């Protein structure tokens, strides 16, 4: 994937890891939803694309899959993950999702959690995922919800003006926007694309859409109690 997340190059993997560990929305909404979607995986081969320092990986290990492979395109992230997670059935590598992946028809499930919005060439990324999946293999994608993640100023607009003042003029256009992750927040750049772009691109790359989820946070004190922070897409590799 294109290295637009330059904050990771300028910051330590430890800082990134600590930031995610304190992110209540990810810990109490995103992560439980992913684990619920996965359910039982003991007999499955799982690939996590864009594993970072292993935020999701450590929970996948507890599910005890038959085989678990993860990769990221940033060396310091992979180094951090390797230093923590070591087992015979776990492999962690430096690879680029928009480049070449060395597997063919090997995985039952591929996870792309908070990843595709960082990719410049999504068609290439999805083609690569399709190649590594077994026939009828499963792809689980999570991205910042396209309706509500334009930039950091958007949440301020909601807080100040309510949900009746959405910047719809920007939703349909593909562009690079600024956002924040973690606590304390780290500024990142990402690609905004409308929801239909992701759906149509998945279909074009040979996937069937099995389901979509838009969970909201269960605490009324949070802005995310009213709007979904993430879009979950559950897809299957076609024939």
- What integer pLDDT is reported at residue 196 of this predicted model? 95
Confidence of residue 223 (pLDDT cuts 50, 70, 90): low
Confidence of residue 177 (pLDDT cuts 50, 70, 90): confident
Q: Which domain range does residue 231 map to?
A: 7-237
Q: Is residue 1 part of a domain?
A: no
Q: What is the pTM of this model?
A: 0.86
CATH number at residue 56: 3.40.50.150
> pLDDT for 51-75, tens place per residue?
998 989 989 999 999 999 999 998 9
- Average predicted confidence (pLDDT) for the chain: 83
Q: Is residue 130 part of a domain?
A: yes
Confidence of residue 182 (pLDDT cuts 50, 70, 90): low
Q: Is residue 2 part of a domain?
A: no
> pLDDT for 70-109, tens place per residue?
999 989 889 989 988 877 779 999 999 999 999 999 999 9
Please count the residues of the chain.
239
Report how many domains make up the chain: 1
> pLDDT for 119-176, tens place per residue?
999 999 999 999 999 999 999 999 989 887 655 455 555 555 555 444 556 788 888 8
Q: Is residue 50 part of a domain?
A: yes
């Amino acid at each position: 994937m294109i290295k637009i997340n330059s904050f990771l190059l300028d910051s330590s993997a430890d800082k990134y890891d600590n930031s995610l560990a304190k992110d209540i929305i990810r810990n109490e909404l995103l992560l439980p939803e992913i684990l619920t979607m996965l359910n039982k995986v003991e007999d499955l081969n799982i690939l996590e694309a864009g594993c970072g320092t292993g935020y999701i990986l450590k929970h996948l290990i507890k599910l005890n899959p038959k085989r678990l492979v993860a990769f990221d395109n940033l060396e310091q992230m992979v180094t951090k993950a390797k230093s923590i997670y070591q087992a015979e059935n776990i492999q962690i590598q430096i690879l680029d999702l928009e480049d070449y992946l060395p597997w063919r028809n090997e995985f039952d499930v591929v996870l792309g959690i908070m990843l595709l919005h960082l990719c410049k060439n999504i068609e290439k990324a999805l083609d690569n995922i399709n190649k590594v999946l077994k026939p009828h293999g499963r792809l689980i994608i999570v991205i910042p919800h396209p309706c509500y993640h334009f930039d950091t100023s958007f949440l301020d607009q909601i807080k100040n003006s309510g949900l009746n003042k959405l910047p719809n003029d920007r939703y349909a256009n593909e562009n690079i926007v600024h956002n924040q992750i973690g606590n304390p927040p780290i500024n990142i750049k990402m690609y905004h694309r409308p929801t239909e772009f992701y759906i149509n691109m998945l279909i074009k790359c040979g996937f069937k859409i099995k389901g979509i989820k838009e969970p909201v946070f269960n605490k009324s004190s949070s802005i995310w109690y009213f709007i979904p922070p993430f879009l979950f897409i559950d897809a299957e590799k076609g024939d």
